[in-house]
Chains A and B, each alone.
Chain A
Amino acid sequence: MAAAIETKKLTKTYKSRALGLINVVEDLDLYVEEGEIFGFLGPNGAGKTTTIKMLLGIIYPTSGEGYVLGNEIGDMDIHRVISYLPERPYYYEHMTGLELLQFYDSLFGNKDKAKCQRLLERVNLAADASKTIAQYSKGMQQRVGLAQSLLNDPKLLFLDEPTGGLDPIAHREIRDLILNFRDEGRSVFISSHELSEVELICDRVAIINHGKIWQQGKLSELLKGARVEVVADNLTREFSDTVKIDGATVSFADGRLIVDVAEDESNINALIDGIRSAKGTMVSVIPRRKRLEDLFVETIRGARPATPAATVEAEVKS
């Protein structure tokens, strides 16, 4: 598979009055394959938007290399085959949905009303094409945003928090659209906090914190470290205090013990033996796939603390 995005030691350094030189993004090695949905995850201020802006050529890297669809970042030719939907952008409210698409289409030097209408149909806004953006709900604005991002039939889409602040119905609509993009052979780069959403649609993910990548790979591989939930009855609360397994989560409610433990045969056997010898009744032993949220929390907790990128960027801009 060819690379849709590839970066080598991409770094962005800001000069902060209070903190001196700060690496908002540091030695970033990112690899996104063509035709996949890639999730770019991280807490606020981790450096996600800074990375996207560098990839789009909106801001300039301090050092390192980056390639988008084989072209070096900053090359204007890429802009004909990529598109970007920022997090909750403002669209000119006096325009109708159709006029807005025609405006963005003219930025490519085109004037194709039929195409704009088709795209509005695609995002289920055909009936609202003549309404002004001011009359659109958040979900409708996000859908018109997705429509504008398809005007140039892009090979690669950058979506920054595409479902942020939307209701569950709008979530689902946007999710379905993104899945359709992949089916059409497009690459999608999603920056998001919505981990359940990302888990549902992404092929690969990277977790960034304090400007560094801490995890990167196929979701199926990253979530491999499975866990097992052991449930037992007829035990006393004191028994739960005797469970000493590294990384285990023990809870006790209404005489029922629930232990969430990493998949390790010896640990699980020891736990079951302990339950039996305490005259407890085994209820269930359920293997559980690690969730992306677990991986995310583990990764972020393990990452070293530093000044969040957003704070530095805001300070530098001020």
Chain B
Amino acid sequence: MRAIMAIAATTVGEAIRRKVLLIILLIGVLFLAVAPGLNTLSTQSETTVLKGMVLGIVQLTSAVIAIVLTVYMIPNEIERRTIYTIVSKPVQRWQFLIGKYLGAVGALGIMMLLMSLVMEITFFLQFQSGFKAEDALDLLRAPAMFFVQMSLLAAVAICFSTFVTPLVNFFLSGGLYLIGSLFAPFFDSLNQNSSTPMFAKLTARFVGVVLPNFSIYNVQNPIINPGQTIQNPTTYYMQVTGYGVLYIGLLLVLGIVILDRREV
């Protein structure tokens, strides 16, 4: 366990110093800070639109960070021969991969926490006394769900990084994220529609089960999900978090199996 935590801590230390990630983060934070100025709608629509815009910025920035952070993680360690100094010690490859993944999630968490903080400050400055403590807490639910979503995305990318090049991985993980975010509800409706041909239904069901469903984490985006209400939020959040953890586990196991057999 100590080896895993040491690898994770080192990964966090390295990630939060990577210039490319810091630039992406800075751009995200800047957009968050100026978001109220871009909003020219009426006061009533203002809150909804601002919320949607700000959460969109947090989500997009986090997704780009998650992919850029993880696609190079394993290939870089091999390319720079650092992995040899690690796996030649009593460290199994699974420990190495888990450590790298936990480090990536840790770094992602720090960056998302910073964005969430800026987001809260932006709302506070915009609405001042109208922005209460419960509003602030309510607003944090979305980034919390995004964090699970990005952890899942990081697991997808780190799994791919054990056998594809970073460039291919970038498009593969990004593509999977888009499909899983935008088309999952479409596959669901295809599957549930009685008039859908059997082949399409089976395909939709297969795709729906195999591909990670990223859309279930977009619950609080009022633009993407207008009027969406969740009957029992606690159960829902636990279920989708459980789904994410299970999926992450499967992806990591797959990544470990591939890395273990790979000639590095």
Contacts and interface: CB of A to CB of B under 8 A. Distances in A.
B83 to A, nearest CB: 8
A234 B14 CA distance: 70
A82 B6 contact: no
A95 B81 contact: no
A59 B78 CA distance: 13
Nearest to A89: B81
A145 B80 CA distance: 14
Given A94-B13, A317-B263, A86 B6 contact: no
Contacts of A107: 3, 6-7, 86, 89-91
Contacts of B3: 106-107, 109
Given A87-B81, A90-B81, A59 B263 contact: yes
B85 A84 contact: yes
A58 B80 CA distance: 15
B30 interface: no
B225 interface: no
B90 A89 contact: no
Contact of B89 (A79, A86, A95): A79
A69 to B, nearest CB: 14
A109 B30 CA distance: 42
B10 A79 contact: no
Interface string A94-122: 11000000011011110100000000000
A8 interface: no
B82 interface: yes
A77 B84 CA distance: 16
A104 B86 CA distance: 8
User: Which range contains the number of A residues in contact with the other chain?
Assistant: 35 or more
Interface in A141-165: 145, 148, 152, 158
Nearest to B78: A317
A89 B82 CA distance: 6
Contacts of B92: 76
Contact of B10 (A76, A77, A95, A313): A95
B17 interface: yes
A60 B263 contact: yes
A129 interface: no
Nearest to A87: B81
A43 to B, nearest CB: 20
Nearest to B6: A106
Interface in B226-254: none
A87 B2 CA distance: 27
B13 A92 contact: yes
A318 to B, nearest CB: 9
Contacts of A106: 2-3, 5-6
A91 interface: yes
Nearest to B1: A109
Interface in B81-103: 81-82, 84-92
Interface in B109-166: none
Contacts of B86: 107
Contacts of A316: 263
B168 interface: no
Given A106-B2, A106-B3, A109-B2, A92 B82 contact: yes
Contacts of B26: none
A95 B91 CA distance: 20
A171 interface: no
A158 to B, nearest CB: 8
Contacts of B264: 58-59
Contacts of B7: 107
Interface in A303-317: 313, 316-317
Interface of B: 2-3, 5-7, 10, 13-14, 17, 80-82, 84-92, 263-264
Interface of A: 53, 56, 58-60, 76-77, 79-80, 82-92, 94-95, 103-104, 106-109, 111, 145, 148, 152, 158, 313, 316-317
24 contacts: A60-B263, A76-B92, A77-B90, A79-B88, A79-B89, A83-B88, A85-B85, A87-B81, A89-B82, A89-B84, A90-B81, A90-B82, A94-B13, A95-B13, A106-B3, A106-B5, A106-B6, A107-B89, A107-B90, A109-B90, A145-B85, A148-B85, A316-B263, A317-B263
Give the 3 A-B residue pairs with the shortest CB-CB distance, closest first.
Answer: A90-B80, A106-B6, A84-B88
